[in-house]
Amino acid sequence: MSHPHPELGPPPPLDANGLRIVALGGLGEIGRNMTVFEHAGRLLIVDCGVLFPEPDQPGVDLILPDFTAIEDRLDKIEAIVLTHAHEDHIGGVPYLLRQRKDIPLVGSKLTLGFVRSKLTEHRITPVTEEVAAGTRDSFGPFDLEFFAVNHSIPDALAVGIRTSAGVVLHTGDFKMDQLPLDGRLTDLGGFARIGAEGVDLLMADSTNAEVPGIVTSERDIAPVLAEVFGAAEQRIIVACFSSHVHRVQQVLDTAAAHGRKVSLVGRSMVRNMGVARDLGYLKIPSVRGGLIVDMKDAEELPPEQIVLISTGSQGEPMSALSRMAGRDHPIRIAEGDTVVLASSLVPGNETAVSRIINDLTRLGARVVHKGNALVHVSGHAPAGELLYVLNLVRPGNFIPVHGEWRHLKAHAELAARTGVPEKNIVIAEDGVVVDLIDGQASVVGAVPCGYVYVDGLSVGEVTETSLKDRRILGEEGFLSVVIVIDSTTGKMVAGPEIHARGSGIDDAAFEEVRPRLEEALARAAADGINDVYQLTQLVRRTAGRWVNENYRRRPMIIPVLIEV
């Protein structure tokens, strides 16, 4: 999938007094967040994340933003500002740094800690600049101010971007939990102050724009976890995002209160919680003999004394929880185990998560999830809080960000209700270029902006065509036809030898199609056709027509013609 926007041409040169904004990901989708700001010939990037593949993208590991629009101007980038350390905001950083390793990464202590740990696996040592909420710093023509925001990961930031062309406030991902676990409130006073100064453009998180009201506090989960732990008679397995420090903290506290040891399962979980602990964001309760134990030690403990904190809450095929559900993991789910899915359901993952719940239940586990207990609260502001921010900031222009099209539209409608003029509300998609000139934001064109697929070690080599081939292979199977032909006359010398996999066609049935192939090749030879490409296409059409007529199927047909 891509967003070509054929109705929009390339943007004109940027006005000397203008600020250009283009999202290379994150608009019309949940993930892949990346926004490029251009002013006075220099670039500033806010976030660089990844999108996780859907079932119709087989074999794909990650989906990156399309860097094509900036790849010839990498030397113009002043910095990459990272609002927080979720994968949909930092996961693409290693791939951009491969193209220019010395781009400064700007972020909070925890965000940079997670990023450095990730980059170590890519053998990249980044240039970093740590910033804190309430501070200001300049990068080229961009004067940046950082504001504390509350989210489902500590140390998240919003960023105010001041230029001679105007002031932008980018909220990043945020909510307004009034009783956060770490006591770090969203800086509404700072939002009001910059709003009073005059915000020409607000770009705000739209994920929960369709959800009315205000957010449920993270603290409300604690009594539910205590109830689940109190009722559990065997082992407890809690699955959540490997970056959700607050959720892991609550599980650790509850485990300690119930006399259970804790083991972390999954490479990213172990890595991220190690970073969070070392930087002081995760506090390990002090219990006799230590609370955290190694997996090997956990396997030796009685099941009623152990809690496992695992990755895999989204049903990812290779995650620890998915492998447990498929009995392909050292941890064997047993009758009476309790599994807690303590995370949100990312759009597109519904089927995979449902399958995990069913598989775990079949193995005898009690599965506690958002649908039957309050074991998760969202990290994103619902409509009531979004209205509050719009009224507080009173922006001249508004671009909803971070959401699918329906979320962006709902947020735009909220902005209109608070008094932002309709002509000043821009619902953009990836690749759409918006210029802010003399206080007015408007669409001026579009740049190429497709999906860049990561498959193993290859980046960008997988195309939509190859994905289509994979889908056909997965759904219809393939059929190969091997024929030996005379290179001079084009006549068949041996064959056809036919093989099929996954097509649902019995080998004995191929006796029906062999005479058709022989007849077609004989006619072609009589007509003087000996070009291998033409004969290959003839074999593909003949075999494909036979399969469609008799089986109403469309497997991939692979003709192999050998010349002698």
26 and 156 co-located in one domain = yes
* CA distances (Å), origin 85, targets 65, 77, 88, 266, 328: 17, 21, 8, 18, 30
pLDDT score recorded for residue 172: 96
Identify the residue whose tokens are 């995990």: 356
289 and 306 co-located in one domain = yes
* CA distances (Å), origin 72, targets 77, 103, 433: 11, 14, 17
What is the count of structural domains for the chain?
A: 3
253 and 360 co-located in one domain = yes
Reply yes or no on whether the pLDDT at 524 is more than 90. Answer: no
Give the gyration radius of the chain's Cα atoms: 28
Reply yes or no on whether the pLDDT at 56 is more than 70. Answer: no
293 and 145 co-located in one domain = no
Residue 354: CATH number of its domain: 3.40.50.10710
- Of residues 455 and 30, which shows the higher confidence score? 30
pLDDT (mean) for 521-540: 81
Distance CA 453, CA 1 (A): 11
Distance CA 338, CA 12 (A): 59
Residue 485: CATH number of its domain: 3.10.20.580
pLDDT, the chain, mean: 88
The share of the chain scoring above pLDDT 70, in percent, equals 91
pLDDT score recorded for residue 135: 97
pLDDT (mean) for 416-437: 96
Q: What are phi and psi of 160, to 5 degrees?
A: -95, 130
pLDDT digits (tens, 9 = 90+) for 369-384: 888 888 888 899 999 9
pLDDT digits (tens, 9 = 90+) for 486-508: 777 767 778 788 887 777 777 77
Reply yes or no on whether the pLDDT at 467 is more than 70. Answer: no
Number of Cβ within a 10 Å radius of residue 105: 23
Strand order from edge to edge, sheet including 397-401: 136-139, 142-148, 157-163, 166-170, 201-205, 397-401
Reply yes or no on whether the pLDDT at 447 is more than 50. Answer: yes
Number of Cβ within a 10 Å radius of residue 509: 14
Reply yes or no on whether the pLDDT at 34 is more than 50. Answer: yes
Q: Which residues contact 69 (CB under 8 A, 6 or more apart)?
A: 22, 24, 36, 431, 447, 448, 449
**Beta strand spans in 32-99 (E):** 34-39, 42-46, 62-64, 77-81
348 and 230 co-located in one domain = yes
pLDDT score recorded for residue 470: 62
Which range, 7-16, 145-154, 325-334, 348-357, is most confident? 145-154
Strand order from edge to edge, sheet including 458-459: 62-64, 452-455, 458-459
Distance CA 289, CA 287 (A): 6
63 and 175 co-located in one domain = yes
Give domain status of residue 14, yes or no: no
Residue 128: CATH number of its domain: 3.60.15.10
Which conformational region is residue 202 in: left (phi greater than 0), alpha (psi within -120 to 50 degrees), or beta? beta
Picking from 316, 334, 368, the residue at the C-terminal end of a domain is 368
Comparing CA positions, the residue from 152, 89, 220 lying closest to residue 379 is 152
Q: What are phi and psi of 476, to 5 degrees?
A: -120, -10
Identify the residue whose tokens are 């291998």: 532
- Of residues 516 and 47, which shows the higher confidence score? 47
Distance CA 391, CA 419 (A): 9
Q: Mean pLDDT lowest for which of 189-203, 299-313, 437-451, 481-495?
A: 481-495
- Of residues 513 and 454, which shows the higher confidence score? 513
Comparing CA positions, the residue from 127, 186, 137, 128 lying closest to residue 160 is 137
The SS3 assignment for 194 reads helix
Give domain status of residue 8, yes or no: no
Give domain status of residue 168, yes or no: yes
Distance CA 498, CA 507 (A): 8
Q: Which residues pair with 158 in a beta bridge?
A: 147
pLDDT (mean) for 71-92: 95
pLDDT digits (tens, 9 = 90+) for 202-217: 999 999 999 999 999 9
Give this prediction's pTM: 0.82
For 547, half-sphere exposure in the C-beta direction (CA atoms, 13 angstrom radius) is: 24
pLDDT score recorded for residue 466: 65
Give domain status of residue 459, yes or no: no
Distance CA 287, CA 284 (A): 9
Distance CA 419, CA 160 (A): 21
Comparing CA positions, the residue from 482, 460, 490 lying closest to residue 561 is 482
Picking from 317, 334, 368, the residue at the C-terminal end of a domain is 368
Confidence band, pLDDT 50/70/90 cuts, at residue 317:
low
Give domain status of residue 513, yes or no: yes
321 and 281 co-located in one domain = yes
Distance CA 317, CA 9 (A): 40
268 and 407 co-located in one domain = no
Reply yes or no on whether the pLDDT at 387 is more than 70. Answer: yes
Q: Tell me if 486 sits within 8 A of 494, measured CB to CB.
A: no
Give domain status of residue 402, yes or no: yes
442 and 323 co-located in one domain = no
Q: How far is CA 481 from the centre of its chain?
A: 40
Q: How far is CA 405 from the centre of its chain?
A: 16
40 and 168 co-located in one domain = yes
Establish whether the linkage from the previous residue to 496 is cis, with ω within 30° of 0.
yes
Distance CA 264, CA 275 (A): 13
Confidence band, pLDDT 50/70/90 cuts, at residue 136:
very high
Give domain status of residue 322, yes or no: yes
Give domain status of residue 458, yes or no: no
Q: State the Cα angle at 46 between 30 and 423, rounded to 5°.
A: 75
Reply yes or no on whether the pLDDT at 274 is more than 80. Answer: yes
pLDDT score recorded for residue 2: 39
Burial class (CB in 10 A: 0-12, 13-18, 19+), 126: buried
Reply yes or no on whether the pLDDT at 58 is more than 70. Answer: no
Instruction: Please tell me what DSSP assigns to residue 68.
Output: G
pLDDT score recorded for residue 1: 33
Picking from 347, 368, 389, the residue at the C-terminal end of a domain is 368
Q: Tell me if 105 sits within 8 A of 115, measured CB to CB.
A: yes
Distance CA 111, CA 107 (A): 6
pLDDT (mean) for 344-357: 74
74 and 116 co-located in one domain = yes
Distance CA 446, CA 460 (A): 21
Instruction: Please tell me what DSSP assigns to residue 510.
Output: G
Number of Cβ within a 10 Å radius of residue 197: 10
What amino acid is encoded at 430 in this protein?
D
Q: Tell me if 81 sits within 8 A of 45, measured CB to CB.
A: yes
Confidence band, pLDDT 50/70/90 cuts, at residue 543:
confident
Give the pairing of strands 440-446 and 142-148: unpaired
Q: Tell me if 386 sits within 8 A of 211, measured CB to CB.
A: no
- Of residues 110 and 450, which shows the higher confidence score? 110
Confidence band, pLDDT 50/70/90 cuts, at residue 289:
confident
Domain that holds residue 197: 19-213+378-451
pLDDT score recorded for residue 461: 61
82 and 209 co-located in one domain = yes
Q: Which residues contact 136 (CB under 8 A, 6 or more apart)?
A: 143, 144, 145, 146
pLDDT (mean) for 143-159: 97
**Beta strand spans in 206-318 (E):** 236-239, 261-265, 306-310
